[in-house]
Structure 1
Amino acid sequence: LLSQAHVLRKRSPTRTPNSAASSGMAGPSGSASASGGEMSSSEPSTPAQTPLVAPVIPTPSLTSPVAPPVPSPTKEEENLRSQVRDLEEKLETLKIKRNEDKAKLKELEKYKIQLEQVQEWKSKMQEQQADLQKRLKEAKKEAKDALEAKERYMEEMADTADAIEMATLDKEMAEERAESLQQEVDSLKEKVEYLTMDLEILKHEIEEKGSDGAASSYQVKQLEEQNARLKEALVRMRDLSASEKQEHVKLQKQMEKKNTELESLRQQREKLQEEVKQAEKTVDELKEQVDAALGAEEMVETLTERNLDLEEKVRELRETVGDLEAMNEMNDELQENARETELELREQLDMATARVREAEKRAGAALSTCCVPQAIEMELRQMEVQQANRHVSLLTSFMPDSFLRHGGDHDCVLVLLLIPRLICKAELISKQAQEKFELSENCAERSGLRGAAGEQLSFAAGLVYSLSLLQATLHKYEQALNKCSVEVYKKVGMLYPEMSVHERSLDFLIELLHKDQLDETVNVEPLTKAIKYYQHLYSIHLADQAEDCTMQLADHIKFTQSALDCMGVEVCRLRAFLQAGQEAADLAILLKDLETSCSDIRQFCKKIRRRMPGTDAPGIPAALGFGQQVSDTLLDCRKHLTWVVAVLQEVAAAGAQMIAPLAENEGLLAVKLEDLAFKASEQIYGTQGVNPYECLRQSCSILIATMNKMATAMQEGEYDADRPQTKPTPPADLRAAALRAEITDAEGLGLKLEDRETVIKELKKSLKIKGEELSEANVRLSLLEKKLDSASKDADDRVEKIQTKLDETQTLLKKKEKYFEETMDALQADIDQLESEKVELKQRLNNQSKRTIEGLRGAPASGVASIVSGIAGGVGAGQAPGGGSGPVQVKDSPLLLQQIDALQLSIKHLKNENNRLKGAQMKVELASLSPLHVPKVSLPKNRQGEGLATQTLYRKTSQLLETLYQMSANAKVVDMKQTKSARSSSARLLEQTARLCALKNSIDTLRDDTMRETVQQQLGATVPSNFGIFPSSSFLKAKREQEEGMACYGRVSFPCAPGQSQAHRLLLTPELLHKLRTHFGS
């Protein structure tokens, strides 16, 4: 019977992962950190498959009646039962698959509804796109009108310039006329001189001949001169008339030519305007097509991929439906066969029961004679244990009541037994946890640390870490209780009931190991409480006791190695949580540094362990000895190690909760884990605003320096010492000797009792005296209490009055602060307004000074130039009053202006959000369009790895668009009146501008990367150089021409038969275009 029970215990089925997970879900998740923090676990994971089975202890009574065992079933029954189980499993799988198919069909219906919604959005987006195009055309028309107005103004200015030129020509003509008149004056002066000469000659002749002869000769000469002059004048008049006729004819011909040219130019201008309008329409249409093609290309690709995925899903669903129908038919057939086999099995069962009864009778006779050696040995051990317990109970019955009372020697002995028992249990749990979860130095390098496997490793490493800390503390107790005084020994014995309570935490873990239920869902908070209790108790009662240096260093090495294992697991988990491509982040660099420091500390631990006492090899000391300073450094080292482990455990636990809802290929950003690290470091290090990178690196550097110092000291033999030859007697031996002495001195107890009675009488007398004194003291105390109550009431009244005054002063101070802030805001607004007015006045002053200087410069102009300058001055004077005249309005309410500005900003952000939503709707509509057939371009063999760069560029653009959408969607208006916040409004505004600048820089870098990638992918587009990649000039020229495109200059239509019209496109060079214009212009 005992052997069968043992075999049945071995054959008991192990718990499935699902059952373990389900049983573990109820228990709160905990952590094994020594700092007392809990390790949070969001997902239950499967434990190891091999359960820890405890040996079966048989009952002592072998003579009790034994029930007959159940005979083994026949092979046919087992086969049939296995078939029934297989059929039931298949039926369950069919049900599960049908439920999954229903869910998939529901998803298909959802996709159809989403497709209909996308089509509706497409139509809406097209309408909105048409409205936007109309608005764009209107804006272009307005711009064109503004350009035409500008051209008119330029023409008017050109007319004024022509008038100025005409005035200068008139001036030159007037100067030429003045010169001609001066020449005439000179000629007339010569004539006057000539006439004066004639007059003198006539006077002389009159004196000689007389007046008649002189007069006749003078008249003849005068007439001859007149005739000559008239002849000259006639010749001149004839020449002038002929030249004027020729000039008139020339001018008429030129005027006719100019008129014909002007009419042809007007016709050409009208034709060109029409052609420009048509070209603008075609350009708008082409731009719309290009924008649609460029924007829809990505959406088309995504939609085609989704379409293909949905088609594959539909095919799979149809195949699964067919398989399910076939399996359903098979299921019906199998159920019919199962009914038939059930009837056959019942008949065979009836036959088998009769056989079983006969076999039971035979087995009863056989079991009475057989006995297993294992069971005999276990019964003997159980008998020895019972005898030992009986021996102890009989010995304690002989002991006096003082030995068994609370806090007596019995409790002290139980404490001495409790400490090694706890150490043994902790060592057992640690070894079993290491074997179950396969803990080692390289366990952190396993795959799948992101999920349940990582949580299991973290739990196991934390549990071993806490157990090593508990063992180190209990070793201190074990050494101290062997060296302390009897008084301290008794004090610790009085605390046995409290100390024994914490043994339940280890018993609970051992019970879970028995049931194979020890996993990451187990709450280890009682273990951390036990560690804290034993540490606190040691610091109170046993802190003054000297420690064994060898044991202290050995415990420190063991604790450090377990902490390093825990650190390695948490570092690898955090590295698995990080999103791909963040190797250059500060957190990733910190994790690498922590990993290297762990490996360095492990090497130092190995060096120290080689020199640890325990073997008789040459060069190894028998014992170790060092001072209190080394012990303090080890304690400090342990403290920093616990801090580092606690920070990493907190960050890893929070990261596991954040990464649980994400997909397998997704990860967390380094910024989120950095925030968690900041919070954890502030909580554990106890300082606000501490930098986790500096703290962790500083702690690791302290650890490395301490361990390096210890390793070098151990290798150089600084701590070598001899074994102490005389050991102090333990307090338990001293107390046992005293107890034996008390028992031997029982003969003199009578005398002692008499002496005690006399002492008791004297004590009674003194007690009466003390009672009287106590009554008097009670009266005094009551009086003092009354006085104290009255004084406390007075003090409370004063405190209330002071508090009311303080509240009033605080309210007044707040009101004054508000009033001062409002006045400061108003003054700031007035200052800003005055500065704007100052700027305006400076501009006016500059304009006025320029005008005065121009007026002074244009004052000496004469003629037509003065008239033109006067007109220009009048225009300027007319424009100046309209531009800057009028008094400046004073703004009285700056708060209202701030609210108006804030509302304007919010309206602007709402417009941007509306535009973004319209753009997203347009994208959805464009995505629903028919896909474009993009030909696949085959890359050369040496350039097939460039697809990764384009993928990174696509990812960067998508991330940039996402940040843009988030900034536009989460835009906030800065409240200028808010003064309670820690940051000022200007600081928040600076943060927003800094974000915008960073976004602009990222856009520029992305544009440069895109240009560089296009240059690398196109053949012949790069210029070879030793320092970088530069685009060639021909490539830049082609890209510029491609961006500008070919413009439609005009259309020429020729008459043809109806229905036979054809369109021919001609590429014109500048020479051909000039010839065409001259041909149609002439």
Structure 2
Amino acid sequence: MGDANLKVGQLIELNDGRIGVIRFIGDTAFADGLWVGVEFDDASGKNDGSVQGLRYFDSKPGHGMFLRPMGVARIVEEPKPKAPARPAAARPGAPGAVARRATGTGSIDQGKGRPTSMTAESSTPRPRLGSRPSSIDTKSPAAGTRIGVGLHSAADCVMMLIPAAGSISRPRPSISGAATGPPRRTSTTSTGGSKSAPAPPTAPKHTTRPSISGARSGLAKPGDAPPARTAATRQSLSVAKQRVTSPPSSSRTSASPSAPVAQRSVSAVQKDAEIKELQTKLRVLEEKRAEDREKIATLDRVQEERNKYEQIIQKLQAKIQPLSLENNELKKNSKEAELRLEQVEAIQAEHESILEMATLDREMAEEQTEAYKADLEAVKQRLEELELENEILKDENQELGQDMNPEERTSMGWLQLERENERLREALLRLRDITQESESELRDQLKSLEEDNQELSGVKEQCDETKTKLLEAEADIEDLRQQLDAALGAEEMIEELTDKNLALNEYIEQLKVSIEELETLKELNDELEVNHVENEKQLQEQIDYKDSIIADLGRRAMQQDETLSDQEYTILRFRELVTNLQSDMEDMRASREISETQAQDLNNRSRAMMDLNRQLQASASSTKMKTIDMELRKLEAQEAAEHLAIVQLFLPEAFHSERESVLALLRFKRIGFKASLVHSFVKDKVSGDAPINDEDIFEACDVLDKLTWISAMCDRFVTAISTCSLDQFARFEGTLYELEPVERALNGHIDGLKRDELKEKQVAEELHRSIAVMSHLAETHLGDGLEGYANDIVMRTLLMQSHLETTAAALMLVKGEVQTRVPSHGEDDYDGVDRFISKTEEIIAQSRSAKVIVGKSLRTLQELKARSLTLQNDTLNSFEECQDASDDLAHYVRKMGENVFQLLHEDSRTEPFAISEVRSAMFRASEEVFSVSESEMYATFSARLRKLGEDLTELVNITSDLELTVEFEKHPAPWVLRSKELQDSKIVSVDTEEEIRRLKEEVHARSMQIKLQEQKHEEAAVKIELLESRTRDSSKKAQRITELEKKLEENKSREKQLAEALETQVRDLAGLETEKEKWKAQAEQAKAIEAAMGGEGKHDSGGEKTVATKREIDALKTDIQYLEAANRYLRQSNRREHIGKVAANTSWLRTTLVPPSKIAASAADGGAQNADAMPRRRLAALQEITNLPAVSKLVNLKDTGDAEEESGVENAGENTRPRNSKLRWRPMKSTPQWQLSELELRRAEAWEALWGGKGMGGIYEDGGLDTPWSVSTGAVGIVR
């Protein structure tokens, strides 16, 4: 729709069918282009006419909306034309009214036809047809533009009503003059043109009261009350002023022309009094109206704030609705996730139990498998041993069979041997059966275990998946918890805003009540104003009538007494002048009074402003001075630090050795100063007049005592360090680092004071730790001399003074709290609040008197200390007792204050507090501290306080007695002693300095000679080392050659021995094979015989054989264990020897491949042949290295007999027993050792051929696997 057709106030229909009223058309700050502000009847909008804090029109929250002009479908209704404003309608009639009033009778007709309400008419200044050019007419347009609807300010209304009255009563100069300025009296003897005789008012009429108009106009502001109300008030006041002018005119009608002077003088006096009274009333009403305007302005501000908060609440509600929905969804999701988690945990628990059972089964099966394997190995070893024994027995049988004749064979021994052999055969057969059965069982168990292991792998995968799902569910639950916490925080914010809104609503209700009262006052004021207007009309009619009579009488008098006209005119002129002067004087007096009051107010304000200005200037100047002083101090500190850094460079080493002790002294001073600083601020908080709002206020008393202790202890340390010896001063360096946590804690407390975040309870705990640290330091470093005792008793006296001071302060706090919160009614006079307060004040007075006594003792002790005097050591007990007593009293008061504070600050308490409860809290404190049950307030405390006072009085007497004092020696500072030592050490004679200079020159010359000799020696040493290295290389080479030759001979001899042993073993193996076959045949024969045998004898012999066989097997098992242990030991020792040999053989790898001795020897020979042959040799070595991977063979380290043994074990069912591969013969060249040695020899020959010598030839004969070829290139492949 076109933009030109849209106007503010139109009823339009939007594209979506909604109906609204246009309230705004124009550009906005939140987006470019033309926007239309629409207000709806229902809450279907988006805002209240404001966007981003900028308001464009007023509407209810949710009833306004901004849209583009194209969003308007059609115009439903045009805006209704506004009625013309009453001030504008009254303007054209003003000149006519003035003209009619000038005629006399026309003003009466107009007054009858005028409306009763003169508010709008009086608020509009009337033009005077050019006859009254004044400052008031020039001000009215500005006032009209400031209001915006043609209405002028209240001040202009008041100032224009008075000239209006003057214009109405022009025929009566006396009245108009009394209202607005000096009167202009006309002659009564003038001719027929007397109606127009009075001259128009001139400019001096308005110059008499500019201050009033300015003051009144200054009261009206754009944010004041409605102009109609203010104008009505002003008009009522002006009408009241005009009413004052009616008595002279009415009295003048009844008076005769012969006595006008007396009547006018009386009327003037009455008029002046009434004018003063009305001016006073006017000022009072103006002040009331100003207060009303202020209240209305505050009401407007409160309404704006309420609208703003309502908007914020609506926005928050709109934001919270999706959050609450999301929160509910998240709660549901969290519950579902928890259910799923419980299900997953149950499933996981089941899986874990299954997995544990499976792992247990698996472990048991593995243990059983290991046990079976161990039994199998034992059985195999036993079988081998039995076979060996069998072979041995066979050999013995053969020997016996060869040596014995047939007769001996038939003897009992031979028969026994045969029986034993039969039993052994049976045992071997049974062992074979048992081993086969056990092996089959073990195979079955292994298969079942493998199946279980596969099932367990699947269960593990499921468990892992379940764990991942569990972790994801826990993460989701954590996210849901965080979102739930955020939603709870939003709910708390909503509750806070709701509370604020309720408070604002209550405040608005109060303001509404005040507004209603003001409205009732306004209605009364309007009624009075109507009455005043009616009286004004009546009086105006009477005045006009009397004016006509006076004019007729004047004309008659002028016609009848022409002779006296000149004299009367002269008298009238004189009287007029007097009257004018009197009126001017009255006006001047009134303006003077008003100006004096205003001047006095201005003077008072100016004085206040001047005082504030002077204070600000003083504070600014003091701040400036402090800033300048601080900057100068910073400059001085910076200069001092730089000067100190420069001076430290010139100091000897003695200063650096004692530097930490000096820093420790400075740290003690800093800690004492900071403790005193924190003490002063905490003391101000405790001794303040503000009410108790902090539950740790009584902990502050404890903090004050501990800070006093720390400050006093720092003073003791400073005094001790300043008077100690040099050795003791050096021992103080360790305190620098031990005091670091103490200073750090005080720095934290000072930062808390800066931020006003000091927690007294936390401070007390940290100070307790600091006191423990400093007590340890005092026990370690402070001595027990007279000076130390003087410092100790001064410190104890300070602590007593602090305890008594904090006791009095805490009692004051308790008294004020009880006096404030516990009502005095409802208690008897004996145990009431008044008695508690009086008793507490008495205790406070006693505490302060005791503090005064302690102060005397402290001053006395300080004076004695200044004169190097102190008390005797036997007075320490008195000080300790007084200190303990004061500490107990302070502890009791703190505990009592905490109990009373907790009692009187219960949040859930609604009933009034009683003094009996306070007494109960005090009794509990006495039981906890003094372990005494009381029935009277302050019974134990007052007794102990009196006892402490007596002890302190005795202590004052002790400190004042000079006979009990002793003198101590005050030592100088250690740094003074050190400086004296340094000064004494620097006193050296001139001869000594000359001798030192000469000796330095000699030392310098000798050092130069020594350096030259050292250089020569170094050159010679280099040459010697070169020759020695050459000789060492040659000797090592020769030695190595001899060693290798020896090893070669040893290896050859060893090879021969091994070959012989191998041949014998082969022969033995062949014999054993034949013997085995023989025994197999005998075993088969024995089986056939046993099968043929039967009866009981068989069973008996079998049982005996079985028992004997088990015993022998057990004995053989023990022997096998011993042999295995010995075999393991031998293997380990052989392995260590082999490792040592390999390391010795491969030590040359840490050097270069080409020995430096060979390079040096070849360089010494200097032959060109070696120089030409070296590149060829290197090229050949490179080719050999590159060909190694291609020509090298794989060496199989796995014994081939193992495979045969495995196959023999697997085929145990077919054969009678597995073959023993260890005893089987193999060729020497098929062993891996032989193949590896052959490869190494081949590499060694290639190396010797490459370098032309036999120095490297024997290195690889015993090198084993760690040869240069295998290490560097991997040429030798090994298969295990």
- Please indicate, yes or no, whether the TM-score normalized by the shorter chain is above 0.5: no
**Higher RCO (CA < 8 A, seq sep 6+):** 1
